[in-house]
Amino acid sequence: MLRGAAFAPVGLIWRRTTSRLLVWLVVAALAFAGAGLVAGSGAGGPAVVVDAPWSPSRYHAERGVLVGRVVADPRPGSGARWTTAVRGLGWLPDGGDAVVAAGDALVRASGAMPDRGAVIVAGGERRRPRRAGHDGGFDERAWLRGRGIDAVMMADSVTVVDRSDVLARVGRSLAAGRAGIRRRLVARLPPTEATVARAVLIGDRLPHAWRGTFTGLGLAHLFALSGLHVGILSGLGLLLLRPLAPLGAWRGVILVPVLVAYALLVDLPGSVVRAVGLVALAMIGAVSGRSSCTLRTLGLVFWGNVLWRPCAVTDVGVQLSYLAAGGILLAQRVVGPVIEHWPRHVRHLASAVTVTTSAQLATLPVIARAFGVLPLLGPVVNLAVVPAFGLAVTLVAAGLVTSSVWSWGAEGFLAAGAVMLRVITVVAGEAAASGLDAGRGLPVWPSGQAALHWGLVAALGLAVRRRRWRWRLAPLVYGAIVAVAGLDPARRSDVTVWQFDVGQGDAAMVEFADGWRAFVDTGDAWWTGGGPLARDVLPWLRRFDVRRVDAVVLTHGHGDHTGGADALATAVTVDRWIVGGRASAPSGLTGERPAIGDTLHASGPWALVVFHPAAGDTSLDEENDRSIALGLVHDGRLRGLWTGDLERTGEARLVGRLPPVPTGGLDVWKAGHHGSETSGTAALLDRIRPRLVVISAGVANRHGHPSHGPFVASGDTLPILRTDRHGTIRLAWGAGGFQARPVRSP
């Protein structure tokens, strides 16, 4: 019914009415509403469940057997593991006697990888994906929802049951085509250029460090499959079809199946589908002798995308693609008449600036939500790099196409393309190393701020079109856009603490009103490289332009507290490293060992003070009991306490060293040792009487944390917030008193 009703506004788009803009707004609202309904229909409910507020958490999962079709090339992981998307055909739960409908799933397994298109039977555990720990963090649920996937399955066994039907044969052919292109690029290009060429031609992933470099310079769109690549391939195709000039516009129709095959080859990313749809409609229009408005055609392709696969419209890449294309087309309509009488070279430069600037303005709210960084040099860098990049991709593609019929010519194309790619990557790397990629951090915008931004962009277009007031109104409106983009919805408090969701580990950041910042632990590291701090916390720091940290406290020497130290030291400038137990500062840096009573920082009546361990105390055998304990003190009274992994022995020594607490008790205690039964003794809890207990633990962690049971002080059960259930937690002290809340949208 929803899809049927969706056709109603489409006919109105073709009518030349004064209300066309209103019609387009209604169309867009219906599109995103329908996409949201369809995309959210299969992924409801919590991803994490617990039996009681203080019990260990587990994923909301069920075991069973999934029958489905592999719809993407499996991606290899570490060892023999692989991941792929599977279109669900049926699900048989353990203990069930009937197969039920199944949504699409992201299947992770090990062993031989199935062919794309094959029908498989996978047995294992299926769970719901998690949301981001904080706004702007990696949101597994949203990322999968944009691809139509509503579950993640850890498969114990995978059996291929059918690889002979038409779809399976097509899938194998496409996979073979990708593998063939990959082999040719690896064999004929140097390693660096082959990696880049594979990313821009068939969608292979770039290394993480490279993605960061190109994103900082505003060049990320070049290295993700997009309309630019389809345009380059279309131009190359038309060039190769020049001998068929007598066919006229039919040459373009011949090219359409080739572009459709390319879209299938690269797994139908939304941006490529959008570009192929535009080219196909333009070619068909040229043959039929009917010209159409490009902007209107873009709208119809978008609406077709919604009807065909609504969930794709919630994908960030698809949103950026349509917004950028729409912004460019609108800007050309607005600016074209203004610059048409300018000198040719000035007109070309103005047109290029318009393209890059309009794309950035149109996509800014999505960039703020998804990436959190506005590359200030993006428009300028794109002016220089995009032409060179287009030439490089054209040369490499020409080399691949001609390699079977013109060997030495293909080698020349590939060599020239490799040189161009090398120049681009070297220049980008040098620019990033020199700090030229400096961008402004962008907090996640609330919907009102995004709506105001787009309203101002529309006003800018109207201002540019007005002849009399153009040069007075346009700068004022553009200044208003810059001001809106710079708004930060966060409110500054006297002291703010973010207890980050870093899985089974600990990491917090303390910030005083005067700007002094300190990290307390840095979370764990993955054995494959990186870790929660690198994936989630460092992008969050850049989002808020945090480039310097005054101190990092590593409470003790266990990896789940120190694993992210190297990544933090690489990403930001750290003035002091303060270490406890067997912890040490990253290689080449010096760590300080504090004493009881040391004040790490004071601002007005607030101070961050060390209360454990005693300097030179060698009687503590357990590393956990050597943890540094930090207290937030206000006018001599303890308001917040962080005790690392202190257990019973360490807590017994800490109790007598603490200052008095307010009449109502301590505001917050970050539970020791992830809420373990070995911490949180009655003596400590009765002494500090916390109004809130914060637990940092990972979902379904192998230690079974938290294992303490109810936290009780003076006969009262204490309220709890947990990173495994609530994500990152913000604690703030200010004029309104003490506040605690999860740092993500409801």
Compute how many other C-beta atoms are within 10 angstroms of the C-beta atom of residue 726. Answer: 20
pLDDT of residue 447: 81
H or E element: which one contains 588?
A: none
- Residue 207 burial (C-beta neighbours within 10 Å; 0-12, 13-18, 19+): exposed
Render pLDDT for 191-239 as a digit per residue (tens, 0 to 9): 888 888 888 888 887 776 677 677 777 777 777 777 777 888 888 777 7
Compute how many other C-beta atoms are within 10 angstroms of the C-beta atom of residue 283. Answer: 21
3-state helix, strand, coil in the chain (%, to 5): 45, 20, 35
- Which tokens belong to 656? 């007598």
The pLDDT of residue 388 is above 60: yes
H or E element: which one contains 143?
A: helix 140-145
pLDDT level of residue 617 (50, 70, 90 thresholds): low
Higher pLDDT, 14 or 739: 739
pLDDT level of residue 18 (50, 70, 90 thresholds): very low
Pick from 167-181, 214-228, 470-484, 664-678 the range whose average pLDDT is largest. Answer: 664-678
Instruction: Render 700-744 in DSSP notation, one character per residue.
Output: T-TT----S-S-EETTEEPPEEEHHHH-SEEEEEETTEEEEEESS
- Residues 361-370 have a mean pLDDT of 87
Provide the residue count of the chain: 746
Compute how many other C-beta atoms are within 10 angstroms of the C-beta atom of residue 735. Answer: 7
H or E element: which one contains 343?
A: none
pLDDT of residue 460: 84
pLDDT of residue 39: 56
Separation CA 248–CA 172 (nearest Å) = 35
Render pLDDT for 449-501 as a digit per residue (tens, 0 to 9): 888 888 888 888 878 777 666 667 778 887 888 788 777 666 678 999 999 99
* From the candidate CATH numbers 3.20.19.10, 3.60.15.10, 3.40.800.10, 3.30.465.10, the one assigned to the domain spanning 495-742: 3.60.15.10
Separation CA 698–CA 725 (nearest Å) = 9
- Residue 640 burial (C-beta neighbours within 10 Å; 0-12, 13-18, 19+): buried
Nearest of 91, 70, 74, 94 to residue 83 by alpha carbon: 74
Residue whose pair of structure tokens reads 């500062």 in the numeric block:
585
The pLDDT of residue 10 is above 70: no
Instruction: Render 44-60 in DSSP notation, one character per residue.
Output: -S-SEEESSTTSPEEE-
Domain boundaries 48-164, CATH class: mainly beta
Higher pLDDT, 654 or 97: 654
Query: Residue 579: beta bridge partners?
Result: 554
Q: In the 8-state DSSP scheme, what is residue 189? A: S
Find out whether 630 and 659 touch, Cβ atoms under 8 Å. no
Nearest of 457, 476, 204, 505 to residue 330 by alpha carbon: 457
- For residue 97, CA distances in Å to 64, 90, 100, 542, 590 come to 11, 13, 10, 52, 63
For the chain, what are the domain ranges?
Answer: 48-164, 173-443, 448-485, 495-742
Taking the CA atoms of 730, 736, 738 and 741 in sequence, report the sign of the dihedral they define. Answer: negative
Pick from 248-252, 290-294, 603-607 the range whose average pLDDT is largest. Answer: 603-607
Separation CA 399–CA 201 (nearest Å) = 12
pLDDT of residue 302: 80
- Residues 249-275 have a mean pLDDT of 82
Separation CA 264–CA 273 (nearest Å) = 9
Q: How many CA atoms lie within 13 A of 306 on its CB side?
A: 26
Separation CA 722–CA 732 (nearest Å) = 16
- Residues 20-29 have a mean pLDDT of 60
pLDDT of residue 159: 93
Query: By mean pLDDT, which of 39-43, 291-295, 465-469, 737-741 is the weakest?
Result: 39-43
Query: Residue 728: beta bridge partners?
Result: none
Compute how many other C-beta atoms are within 10 angstroms of the C-beta atom of residue 696. Answer: 31
Find out whether 251 and 241 touch, Cβ atoms under 8 Å. yes
pLDDT of residue 585: 95
pLDDT level of residue 17 (50, 70, 90 thresholds): very low
Find out whether 643 and 627 touch, Cβ atoms under 8 Å. yes
- Residues 157-169 have a mean pLDDT of 86
Higher pLDDT, 555 or 302: 555
Nearest of 671, 659, 579, 585 to residue 626 by alpha carbon: 579
Residue whose pair of structure tokens reads 């060892």 in the numeric block:
79
Separation CA 236–CA 254 (nearest Å) = 13
pLDDT of residue 401: 83
Q: Residue type for 667, please? A: D
Pick from 261-270, 425-434, 508-517 the range whose average pLDDT is largest. Answer: 508-517
pLDDT level of residue 372 (50, 70, 90 thresholds): confident
The pLDDT of residue 260 is above 90: no
Separation CA 19–CA 21 (nearest Å) = 5
pLDDT of residue 31: 62
494's CB contacts (< 8 A; 6+ apart) are 512, 513, 603, 604, 606, 733, 734, 735
pLDDT level of residue 746 (50, 70, 90 thresholds): very low
Query: Residue 76: beta bridge partners?
Result: 82
Find out whether 673 and 665 touch, Cβ atoms under 8 Å. no
pLDDT level of residue 607 (50, 70, 90 thresholds): very high
pLDDT of residue 356: 83
Q: In the 8-state DSSP scheme, what is residue 100? A: B
Compute how many other C-beta atoms are within 10 angstroms of the C-beta atom of residue 287. Answer: 14
Instruction: Render 469-536 in DSSP notation, one character per residue.
Output: THHHHHHHHHHHHHHHHT---PPP-SEEEEE---SSS-EEEEEETTS-EEEEEE----TTS--HIIII
Percent of the chain with pLDDT over 90: 37
Higher pLDDT, 502 or 223: 502
- Which tokens belong to 480? 């208003």
Provide the phi-psi class of 277: left if phi over 0, else alpha when psi is between -120 and 50, else beta: alpha
Average pLDDT, the chain: 85
Separation CA 107–CA 67 (nearest Å) = 11
- Residues 274-284 have a mean pLDDT of 82
Percent of the chain with pLDDT over 70: 89
**Cα 251 → chain centroid:** 40
